[in-house]
Structure 1
């Protein structure tokens, strides 16, 4: 607990709490906004493109995801930029930028192997097959509207690190310890993906992202790892079929 910053100024503490609460509220509103705005937005896409409802649906989903994440991220960046000490939850010097970047890259491999271990446990104990329905659904949307890739690979990871690592983990770690804060924030991170058969996989990812943030004291470390992971998964999913055909052709040539 020596690493956690103790702020004596109650006004600063209250400001941090308000900023964290507002960022969390923005994220929640973004998640539920589709309930009210999806249908009007779908009609807008149909009228703009001239496409029938069924053909316009992928565009609606892709553009809505991209725009909603972008707006939520911009609002969160504005809020956090006005609270300069919002990120200073740790006492002492932060890790250097080069080492923080290096840990972000290392973190990608840690998460990748963590997922492999989690998948093996799920299969051995629970008989759960590999493959995430959440990932498949998101990639399907990206295929229909490539603009969604920005939300999947860039906007989403940054916003999720703000919410789950700084707001939830960062708030809890100041009054508890790494493991309590890490596990609680990782479970919330897992639940928000609505892929309940793979709760363990997402929880492992959340714990590793929390470790990276805790290790370097820089949120950009976990963001780098998260962006790399989502980018890699999206790339593999989008080009899985062409890659499979290419490998089959290579086998025939041998």
Structure 2
């Protein structure tokens, strides 16, 4: 039998199975009372069964004329599979029982045929599809290009939608399929290229591809285009198939509009999208701010929503800086109250330690046990001032310079490292300037030391070695115990190191994080706090208290003991030398090595 005849027979089968049979089965059943309704239903079922039998007979007749036609054999099994699903709406009695022998016959007659393997994969989902597809890929090198392409597509889709699939592998297979001529996975392939930072290749692939008729592929193309440098790329992909725009994820569509500055269209697209979803809420807020719809933006702020507090705090600070008058909006008032209460708590927090220290000092003086201060010019008032500056000023400056910074601090977000570093630089520099008045009265020798302080260089190195040992032991023990060593603190430090390198190279990161930061912290904890406490309580207690405060400020539980030890060592160096320089040197050395390790230098 020639190819034209077989093609005609397959067309006939498809026509009978999909048109005649399905049309009869879909005939509406008039709502008739009693027996008439039952008779009408029976009549439709009889017609459906008749159509099914006729279509199956036509397929069997075609196979008898071409017994070696694998495509016809698969078409028959696919037909039986369609009507053999007992959970489907078009189930036909007997089709399910006939399907199993049909599959068995395929396997026995064509055990290595790609068509049979691909047909069987069509009924697999999730992990089963991924496992089967990956196994077939190992032996599919000799398959016809069309079959190999189809296998790549099916396995790629399996990875994408499987709970334990590999998105990167899905994109890799999609790209190979596209290179073999597939057009259904252009979007997935382009997304893979953007993830691999091959932006030019992704842009070229999207530009040369014909418009897609597949809604899922259109959506994937839009998302891939949003990662390209060209701000118009996303909208260009969105508009290539106007009839399919409704199938594109509306958040992706909104981002496409926002990238070209069309915030009004973004708001329109997001109008009915889930407002309780945090990601959507943030996107709606961004669109409202871009459109200067501050009243609409205020409605998206709710600081009483505790699970999403960080996101709402970010929106609150952003809106407050852009439009201060919105602070009287009812949805913003809780935020105002929370911020004022927060500032008051931070302002009064040092008193938890300093007030008892004051009364303890009075009691010691009455007993004739007055303490000898480390720095005569430093008392509890300056200690309170320094602690309040350290707690409040950096946060306030971050809110002014980068309103979203507080949420980033809460979440340990490293996605905006350069911007975060710039904000940190301004905040740290401002805090250092505001701290300066409290340091008036500290002599040059107390700052820089003398020959005695210089001769302690070997002690500084010894303490630094001890810190390395403490850090190694803590890491070893906690790793063995399964403790997660990554914290918000470590993520933010890594982000700022990277940000400094992006803005001015590795030396800028070293200068700020390994010099200015340590100097500020040493002035606060070993200068003002330790100096003020030592005037009223014994040095041992004063040193322990300031070291606890230093460790707590870093908010890094796995390394709390490490920071506590550094604080104790620094306080002891101040006591021994009467100078801040050795403890600053220890802190700078510690931070320089940490920053160098993150930068991969040295």
d(CA) in 2 for partners of 1:105, 1:127: 35
Q: CA deviation at 1:148?
A: 4.5
- List alignment gaps of at least 5 residues for structure 2: 1-368, 406-412, 502-507
- TM-score in terms of structure 2 length: 0.32
Larger Rg: 2
Partner of 1:144: 499
d(CA) in 2 for partners of 1:112, 1:233: 14
Alignment pair present for 1:235 and 2:596: yes
Query: Quick check: 1:111–1:204 contact (8 Å CA) kept in 2?
Result: no
Partner of 2:586: 225
d(CA) in 2 for partners of 1:5, 1:214: 10
> More helix per residue: 1 or 2?
1
Give the stretch that moved more between structures: 225-234 or 55-64. Answer: 55-64
Q: Of residues 419, 431, 434 in structure 2, which corresponds to 1:60?
A: 419
Bigger relative contact order (CA 8 A; separation at least 6) = 1
Alignment pair present for 1:71 and 2:430: yes
Partner of 2:462: 109
In structure 2, the CA distance between the partners of 1:112 and 1:66, relative to structure 1 (3 Å rule), is farther
- TM-score in terms of structure 1 length: 0.70
d(CA) in 1 for partners of 2:464, 2:454: 15
In structure 2, the CA distance between the partners of 1:59 and 1:5, relative to structure 1 (3 Å rule), is closer
d(CA) in 2 for partners of 1:106, 1:36: 40
In structure 2, the CA distance between the partners of 1:173 and 1:60, relative to structure 1 (3 Å rule), is same
Query: Quick check: 1:41–1:60 contact (8 Å CA) kept in 2?
Result: no
Partner of 2:385: 22
Query: Quick check: 2:485–2:558 contact (8 Å CA) kept in 1?
Result: no
Partner of 2:567: 206
How many pairs does the alignment contain?
219
Query: Quick check: 1:112–1:229 contact (8 Å CA) kept in 2?
Result: no
d(CA) in 2 for partners of 1:131, 1:219: 31
Partner of 2:227: none
Q: Of residues 372, 386, 390 in structure 2, which corresponds to 1:4?
A: 372
Q: Of residues 424, 427, 450 in structure 2, which corresponds to 1:97?
A: 450
Q: Of residues 174, 181, 197 in structure 1, which corresponds to 2:535?
A: 174
Q: CA deviation at 1:115?
A: 4.0
Q: Could you say what secondary structure the match of 1:33 adopts?
A: helix
- RMSD (CA atoms): 3.7
Q: CA deviation at 1:118?
A: 5.1
Partner of 2:174: none
Partner of 2:117: none
d(CA) in 2 for partners of 1:58, 1:97: 40
Q: CA deviation at 1:55?
A: 11
Give the stretch that moved more between structures: 226-235 or 99-108. Answer: 99-108
